[in-house]
Structure 1
Amino acid sequence: MSGPTPGRAVRVVLVDDHAVVRGGLAQLLGAVDDIDVVGQAATGAEALVVVADVAPDVVVMDLQMPDVDGVTATRRILAEHPVTQVLVLTSYSDAERIVAALDAGAVGYLLKDADPDDLIEGVRAVSRGESPIHPRAARSLLTARAQGPGRAGRVELTPRETEVLALVRDGLANKQVARRLGITERTVKAHLTSAFARIGVQDRTQAALWAERNDLG
């Protein structure tokens, strides 16, 4: 997976339908030496055009927007620009939206009430291929899975999360999982981040043990 060249600022596009929010984000991120805001968009449809024009490393994506929403925009952007990373920044912390965003290919999910330093570090983390998730969003996923005793069906993993966890249980690394399923390594990481939160584990070893206990795959 390619990313920002070492020593080069992370190129960021901001997508939010509120001009005041975009302006505040641009001021916050633009004041950081290693982040460069190279574009802004007010709708998902506009984001597609801006991303194609400036080829950012990271898109900071709102979810609730007119025209094309953030989930749809994320899916379309990543279909056309697979090396771009999408970090969701939204007011919504319900499990359904989180899962939808991660399934669309977003690799991070932060909330708008996050500390400014957390947002800055979130952009940096996403550019490094990491998957930052706001603690309240993670708790929403955990709450959603708390309906049952921990069986795979009761946790309601997506089909792709089930496939990824089964391959992790079999000892495959993320790059091998990506090749096996025909998806990007970034998407594998996003599915693992979501699955870890939903089944209540913190690392691959715990996830593999969970998958084994629950006869996954």
Structure 2
Amino acid sequence: MTRVMIIDDHPIVLSGLTALIESDDALELVAAARTAAEAIATTTEPDVAVIDLELPDGDGIELGATLKRSRPHLCVLLLTMHADDQAVIRSLAAGLDGYLLKDSDPKDILAAIHTAARGALVLGRGASGAVTAAAALAPRTDALGQLDTRDREILSLLAQGLPTSQVAARLFLAPKTVRNRISEMLAKLGVATREEAIALGRAGGLGHS
């Protein structure tokens, strides 16, 4: 039996999700909250938390990360109205387990809960191809720890969309130096192309101007 917690401030959505979960004999609803504060205060131990992205007292991604820190076994699915690539990438970088749109077919929502409970990543149709690629790289964001400060500066500027010449000018380096650093960076990250390095950097939170 998979134990589920719902966090959503919309009564109709909360009611609908409750009915949906209760319709599945393999799921048990153990908690329902309307705010981040209520969710944090709950003493239940769910296996999966289904969280709205926008809550009246906080951000669903931040809440999900907080809940996972106190319950390492917990899987967190974001359920939102917004198909937002940056939100998907933020959720993956925070270690969350899935991103779905609220207008998904009910059977797809149930399937996502079961999939997350098995430890697999869930990306609904709200995730674009580019974000799906970043998602594949997200579990390897710990490789960013291999980069020194200068590497991270270069990768952050590349992730903002700057070409090599502008990165060099911004950091007062020769373009050849930047190209050499990028080649070394690919080896450190274990990726083959600049595009993969940029996707990995973005999944790890780099590139915010």
Q: Which TM-score band applies after superposition, normalised by the shorter structure? A: 0.5 to 0.7
CA distance in 2, matches of 1:135, 1:44: 26
Residue identity opposite 1:17 in structure 2: D
Among 52, 68, 93, the alignment partner of 2:83 is: 93
Q: Deviations over 1:8-42 (max 9, x none)?
A: x1000001011110110000111101001111010
- Structure 1 residue 113: deviation in Å? 0.9
Scaled by the length of structure 2, what TM-score is found? 0.65
- Say what the alpha-carbon RMSD is for the aligned residues: 2.8
Q: Does 1:40 align with 2:20?
A: no
Partners of 2:39 and 2:45 lie apart in 1 by: 11
* Structure 2, gaps ≥5 residues long: 147-189, 201-209
Structure 2 partner of 1:161: 141
> Is the 2:101–2:125 contact (alpha carbons within 8 Å) kept by the matching residues of 1?
no
Say which SS state the counterpart of residue 136 (structure 1) adopts. coil
Aligned to 2:105: 115
Task: Tell me the equivalent position of 2:49.
Answer: 59
Q: 2:66 and 2:80 mapped to 1: Cα distance?
A: 19
1:46 & 1:211 partners in 2: Cα distance?
42
**Which is greater in Rg?**
2
Q: How far apart, in 2, do the equivalents of 1:105 and 1:114 lie?
A: 22
Unaligned runs of 5+ in 1: 1-8, 146-156, 167-209
Q: Is the 8 Å Cα contact of residues 81 and 103 (structure 2) preserved in structure 1? A: yes
Runs of 4+ with deviation above 3 angstroms: 213-217
TM-score calculated relative to the size of structure 1: 0.63
Q: Which amino acid aligns with 2:127?
A: A
Shift of 1:48: 1.0
Residue 29 in 1 paired to residue 21 in 2? Answer: yes
CA distance in 2, matches of 1:63, 1:135: 16
Q: Give the Cα separation in 1 of the matches to 2:37 and 2:89.
A: 22
Aligned with 1:106 (options 80, 93, 96)? 96
> Residues 45 and 73 of structure 1 are in contact (CA less than 8 Å); yes or no, is this contact kept in structure 2?
no
Give the letter for the 2:114 counterpart: R
- The AA in structure 2 aligned to 1:131 is L
Residues paired across the two proteins, number: 151
Deviations along 1:120-175, one digit per CA (max 9) or x if unpaired, are 000000000011101231346269x8xxxxxxxxxxx88x63727x9xxxxxxxxx
